[in-house]
Structure 1
Amino acid sequence: MTRFSSPAVAGALACSAGMTVVGASIAFGPLLADYPVLAGQAWRYLLAGLVLLAVMRVRRVRLPRFRPGQLGRLVLLAGTGLAAFNWLLIEGTQRSDPAFLAAVLGATPLVLALAGPLLDGGRIRGRTVAGSTIVVAGILIVQGATTAPLGALPYAVGFLLCEAAFTLLAVPLLKEFSPLQVSTAVCLVAVPLLAALAAVEPGADLVAPTASEAATLAFLAVCTTAVAFLLWYGGVVRLGADRAGLFAGIMPVSGMVVGVIAGTSVWTPAGLAGSLLCGAGIALGLRRPPAPARVPEPAVAETV
């Protein structure tokens, strides 16, 4: 019988909800197809940071003063997990099929299962690694195995590492600050980094978004960024980076389900099989090992 402690249940629910929101938001991507990508991301994180600042004000939580080392980690987190991630996404899709990048990104659970405990000074959990491997297989089935030119591989690998860095670099910060404080800070730090990249993006003029683009950016800022970041980092605090990574398998499944509902995707037997495989991998990775059986103490014979 699988046993979950209350923090584990809360962490699983938080990670599930966060990845569901992120996966569902994929359907909104085409609405920003004509808007400069990096500029749009800068607006997105600025809006998300302002929303999170408002939440902090309501909850009477202060934005902490980070020590130099913590600030450096925060800049590295924003630079890799947000700014470089988006830049590599643009450059990578110009050199390969987006499905190839998505397939490589599917290895995130396995990277977190191995790197998470090592960077945190813990022990690698065999069940988590096994479950992550199954989740990766499920993601590959859902996304579809694709090939790409050799020149696209560095972008895909960098894309994967930046995705993992978003979680791994946050772990030490989450030990000292709340998910709300970390989420707010990383969004605000990412804004000037993305704005600088947007300034040198070829053909990216400063243009005002249309009504639909503004609505999409607002949705991405509030739901896919502010809410999803809080849920994800809250789950990482409760589960650890390795077990939280299992829930990355929910993102492509959620995206596919929303696509089917919206009529932009078709439900296939392979998609169903991959979804079930992701679920099985998550269940295995979260399953706690059975408690060792107690050995009864030998009875002591009474002497008369």
Structure 2
Amino acid sequence: MSGNLKPVYLKLVLTTFFWGGTFVAARLAVKEAPPFFAAATRFAVAAACLIALTAWYARREKKPFPAPRSVRESGLLLSLGLTGIFCYNALFFTGLKLTTATSGALIVAINPLLTAVISALWLRERVSLTQGMGLMVSLLGVCVVISKGSWAVLAGFAFNKGDLIMLGAPLCWALYSILGKKALATFTPLAATAYASLFGAALLLPAALVEHAALGGPWPSFSWVGWLAILQLALLGTVVGFVWWYQGVGRIGASRAAVFVNLVPFFGALQAALVLGERVVLPQLCGGLLVVAGVYWGSRVNGEKQQVAIQQSRERGVPGEGRGKAGI
């Protein structure tokens, strides 16, 4: 490992550590407040920081603030907020209110491969046999996780509701990632994520008000533990994680950086055990290994092809792919 890349790899590892911690933080947050209120608070903080950071970068580079220039661009940014922020976090926080942080981290680990497969289908690209097999292995792992290795649970469809809700989160993230690719034709990853967080927060706020009216009682509030959880979600899991991730993608490429994503379920389960006292049972361990193996297997060929394409572009003097996917 070359000396100048050590800080890059360290930041990528820390980023996946922060993302693994979001499952623990969200679990703590929904113990003190309803899901939509917790999600709205998270992205109100994150959006304010990301918009300020976007403005700072624009000013440093002596460029105007990157505002949408048409209804189409505004609609695209709104769709990012709807899929990747509103829908994803509605399922994320609601699911974690009903299941463990460990199960949530293992289920959502299917994100990268599901995104690749749905993206290929949506963009009418051929899905390789390796991708299909990798998806099957990952889905088998998810089934083991949500059934806790019990055939009776599978046969009777007696799944934990939180696990089933969490299954919708990777689908929302896949749609968000596909839309994010289109947004990157016009906006930087930072600007696209800032707008996604802003629109997402704007959608989550009225949902939190409806949620409060339906549940009744006093307005939710957080203890210092709850606020630490919200700040971890907003600052470390969203803002710092986003900036460091794209710094890493810019230095080593999207395909090499994507390998680090496989650390997220490991760090999620580890922090859940240390902070929440959750115990990883054997079926969860086996299922998690299947999920990670399937993701790695299904993504490996595409990653190798992408790296070759980047190298060929560099040899021709064309800038390589440094942005990756929007919306971390």
Q: TM-score, normalised by structure 1?
A: 0.70
Give the aligned residue type for 1:72: G
Report the identity percentage. 23
In 1, the alpha carbon distance for the partners of 2:215 and 2:28 equals: 19
Given candidates 178, 202, 213, the residue that maps to 2:188 is 178
Give the aligned residue type for 1:253: F
Distance 1:14 1:179, change over 3 A: farther
How is 1:1-304 mapped onto 2 (pairs within 5 angstroms)? 18-32=15-29, 33-59=31-57, 60=60, 63-66=65-68, 67-89=70-92, 105=108, 107-120=110-123, 122-141=125-144, 144=148, 147-148=157-158, 158-201=168-211, 202-203=214-215, 205-230=218-243, 239=254, 249-262=262-275, 264-284=277-297, 285-287=299-301, 288=304
In 2, the alpha carbon distance for the partners of 1:282 and 1:104 equals: 12
For each residue in 1:125-182, what CA deviation from the matched residue of structure 2 results, as whole angstroms up to 9, or x when unmatched?
Answer: 4334433443444455455356447999995665443232222221111233221111
Provide the alpha-carbon RMSD of the alignment.
4.0
Distance 1:104 1:170, change over 3 A: same
Secondary structure, counterpart of 1:216 in structure 2 = helix
Distance 1:152 1:114, change over 3 A: same
In 2, the alpha carbon distance for the partners of 1:137 and 1:233 equals: 31
Is contact 1:106–1:140 with CA below 8 Å preserved after alignment?
A: no
TM-superposed CA distance for 1:115, in Å, is 1.5
In 1, the alpha carbon distance for the partners of 2:162 and 2:34 equals: 22
Structure whose residues are more often helix by fraction: 2
Give the aligned residue type for 1:188: L
Aligned residue pairs, count: 276
TM-superposed CA distance for 1:236, in Å, is 8.5
Distance 1:269 1:191, change over 3 A: closer
Distance 1:209 1:55, change over 3 A: same
In 2, the alpha carbon distance for the partners of 1:282 and 1:70 equals: 32
For each residue in 1:243-281, what CA deviation from the matched residue of structure 2 results, as whole angstroms up to 9, or x when unmatched?
Answer: 95x876543332112223336133555455445444543
Distance 1:280 1:180, change over 3 A: same
For each residue in 1:195-242, what CA deviation from the matched residue of structure 2 results, as whole angstroms up to 9, or x when unmatched?
Answer: 0101100236544433222222112110112233445677889548xx
Give the aligned residue type for 1:262: V
Distance 1:159 1:31, change over 3 A: closer
For each residue in 1:9-48, what CA deviation from the matched residue of structure 2 results, as whole angstroms up to 9, or x when unmatched?
Answer: x8x9987764442222222234321223312221211211
Q: TM-score, normalised by structure 2?
A: 0.66
